Structure 1
Amino acid sequence: MATNRKGSRERIILNVGGIKYETYRSTFTAYPETRLGMMFSEENHAALPSKNGNVYYIDRNGRTGKIPSVDKVKCSIPITQEQLDEELDYFMIPRPKNSKKSKLSLRSRTLAAELDNLVYALKATLNKLVLYFQKRFIMSAGGHGFNITLEISFYASDRIPYLVTVLPKIIGKTPIPLITPILNEQGLGTKAYLIMNRFGDKIGNYLESTFPGLNWHLQWLEQFNDEIRPSDAMYRMRMSLCDKFEYEDVINNCCLSTVATKNYYKDDL
């Protein structure tokens, strides 16, 4: 019996760094907050490049289906904690809860959880924008990448909702309806303003280390109104992503690298 391509039981094959994994699309869509969950969602599924209809290539090293510690994998898979963290960040897989948090005060645990939620929302938003501009991001002329700018203003007052601006602007189209549900889910607003006030620089450092080519800029502003309305303070957060590529880097990190290696040894003979 034929399977509906868009059905949740659609079989797919992931080729991850030469290692093939077969599963169902519903396995990924069950975790919509992860990179694979967003990639195989209904809204992005039709745009995914595939081979033979159901084979998809992921340019990463093959891993197991669990989140191991470095101690557990160092004997079988040479990997550092930094490399493991990089893979978790790339696929947007939440870390296991740290048991040390149970010793923290209630306020510390609450702040840590809210900080995680805000950073998750910003990462998910960036990944959503990259997918939205995927064709332009990849095919931009000159090899300089495609510049994407996300600007969000968080106000100190709950009576003023946050404002979102995305560049470039395309006539008749905007990705804002796709990213506002991510921000709304976390209830961002005054809460985000307060977090930015205390942890804005740390958030920027983390995101710049996670997304190559990202430039973070955070600015505190105050708008003065008339005598009836008090001034409105806000944090304006701007993230610009422009990641260039090098020809040799692309070749050496895709399936073509095996052909290049074979030709190299052949030339030596």
Structure 2
Amino acid sequence: MQKNNNDNTNANRSDRIVLNIGGVKYETFRSTLTAYPDTLLGTMFQDRNRELQHATNKNEYFFDRNGRAFHYIMEFYRNGEIDWPVVYSQSVIARKEIERELDFFQIPFAPQTIETREFSIEDAARSLDEFTEMFVAVIKEMERHFRRRITILFPVFNFSLFSVVPDLTTVTPIVRPYWQIGSPISEHFGEVIGKHLMQLRPGLTYKVTSTSVNDEYVYKWELRIPLAFDVKKVIEKSSLSSFPNKT
């Protein structure tokens, strides 16, 4: 599909809108959509059609469609391409879901370009093991930095909400590779992972919950551990032991 670059005025570029797709909100510019005038949204948000547009809340427009699948629609408007996922038999989102939304929003696509393969139990077990080992590495870094608690957010849809608090330079890079798959793994295996970590690290407590942040769903992990070392013994092993203890 040919992108129309001539219709983007300075006014359009500053015209921010919110698309509420089945309860999942996407924020973009009017010009991002009108750059593809042959699509449903590209036509709808043309200046000449402003009188036909009915916002539900100021600049927010609601569509009773699949909010998860719309991620791929939005990426098309931003990048000009459909980034088809690798489709697994146990995928979080089905290929048909994406195809239905592409049809509805009048975006042409070539289904044969989808990369597919069977997802095995072994693949699932490997992903679960890697995710669990990530938490083991995080706990080790918490001990090394004398940190007693840490909170991690794995977003369901809006990946910009991913966060690690505190944002330790040696911890966040360990977690970041899982920022997009952390939520489905947490949904299905969170409690099992937490109980396993409690067995590996005596005194550890955990809490994994599905919650809302800025009207977006996230899975929230809260880990707490006691100090790994006795404070006095650490001082005795350090150079501080040579200083007089004045109490």
TM-score (ref. length: structure 1): 0.39
**Which structure is richer in relative contact order (CA contacts within 8 A, separation 6 or more)?**
1
Rg (Cα) greater in structure: 2
